[in-house]
Amino acid sequence: DIQMTQSPSTLSASVGDRVTITCRASQNINKWLAWYQQRPGEAPKLLIYRTSNLQGGVPSRFSGSGSGTEFTLTISSLQPDDFATYYCQQYQTYYALTFGGGTKVDVK
């Protein structure tokens, strides 16, 4: 299986901060990476697919970049709705999908 390692596991930030979350793959996944946001008690929500494509309806303050084994999710100016847990997911191997361990963004 391809292992996905997210860092940090917890991030404390304030409204207006620029936030960056990193996801590293144990092998080359090309651009087959997605990012999700999950608020407590809710299902995950797709933010970005194929590394950098913004899902419809997702605010433009979210962006994704990277390729190969290192990827980032950036929130350009953190808003109150953005305090949540974020997960990356690789789908290079469609028969063995894996998620990162999650990054919780909480209030500083």
What is the DSSP track for the chain? ---EEEE-SEEEE-TT--EEEEEEESS--TT-EEEEEE-TTS--EEEEETTTEEPTT--TTEEEEEETTEEEEEESS--GGG-SEEEEEE-SSTTS-EE---EEEEE-
Residue in the structure block whose two tokens are 């620029």: 18
Which of 30, 63, 69, 102 forms a contact with another protein (CB under 8 A)? 102
The one segment of 17-25, 59-67, 76-84, 92-100 that binds another protein by CB under 8 A? 92-100
Site for another protein in 7-26 (CB under 8 A): none
Residues touching another protein: how many (CB under 8 A)?
Answer: 24
Does residue 97 touch another protein according to CB under 8 A? yes
Which of 14, 43, 80, 81 forms a contact with another protein (CB under 8 A)? 43
Does residue 86 touch another protein according to CB under 8 A? no
Which of 5, 17, 45, 58 forms a contact with another protein (CB under 8 A)? 45
Q: How far is the CB of 26 from another protein (least distance, A)?
A: 15
Residue in the structure block whose two tokens are 């084994």: 69
Does residue 44 touch another protein according to CB under 8 A? yes
